[in-house]
Amino acid sequence: MKKIIVFASGSGTNAENIIKYFAKTKIANVVSIFTNNASAKVIERAKNHQIPVEIFSKNELLERNVLQKIQEIDPDLIVLAGFLLKFPENIIEKYPNKIINIHPALLPNYGGKGMYGMHIHRAIVNNKEKETGISIHYVNENYDEGGIIFQKNVALTEEDTPETVAEKIHELEQKYFPEIIQAVLEDSIKENSKK
C-alpha cells in the first residue's frame, strides 16, 4: 500500500476527496495531512476520517522540522491540494518527482506568486477568456513551473462570473485530481500528456 501525504491550507475539499477516493482502493492511503493553518477546515475533515494532522509554522517548513516529519512517514507521494506556501527546496531535493500540485488554471497562464483561488478566476473573467481549466504538475523550486502531468480545459461563456468559474474548476478538480494521483502512483502517465 503506497503512502500519500497531503498538504493543504484551507477548507480541504480536495484533500477530503483524495482521502475518500483512496479509501476505496488497494493502491494507496492518505496517511497524514500537513497544514500551515491552525484554523483550516481541512483539520476537521481529516479528523472525520481518522487521518493524523501535522500543524506547522512557516519557519518550521523552511527549517528542517517538516522535512524530518515527512522522512519519518517515508511517503511515496506528496500532494499539494490548496497549499499556499512556497514549497522549500530541502523537501523538493529529497523527493524529486514525488511532489505534485494542482493549479486552477491552464499553466503557464495565470501561474506564479499571488495567483491562486479567486484571484485567478477574477483575472480570467476580467480578461474575457474563452476557456480555463486545471493543471496538475510536479513541484519544483518556482511557483507553478514544474513539469505538467495533466491538463483539462473547460469552456467559458460571457455570462460566467468568478464564482461560476470557481464551480467549474472545482468539478474538474474533484473528478480528475484523484485519478491523476493514482496514475502517477502507477507510473501509467507520461509527462506532458494531454487528454
Burial class (CB in 10 A: 0-12, 13-18, 19+), 173: buried
Cell numbers representing residue 90 in the block: 530541502
All 3 cell numbers of residue 71? 522522512
Active-site annotation holds for 119 = no
Which residue of the set 103, 121, 137, 170 is catalytic?
103
- Asked whether 98 and 76 are in contact (CB, 8 A), the reply is yes
Cell of 181: 494521483
> Cβ distance 111 to 144 under 8 Å?
yes
Q: State phi, psi for 27 to the nearest 5 degrees.
A: -90, -45
- C-alpha cell, 65: 522540522
Residues annotated as catalytic (active site), given as ranges:
103
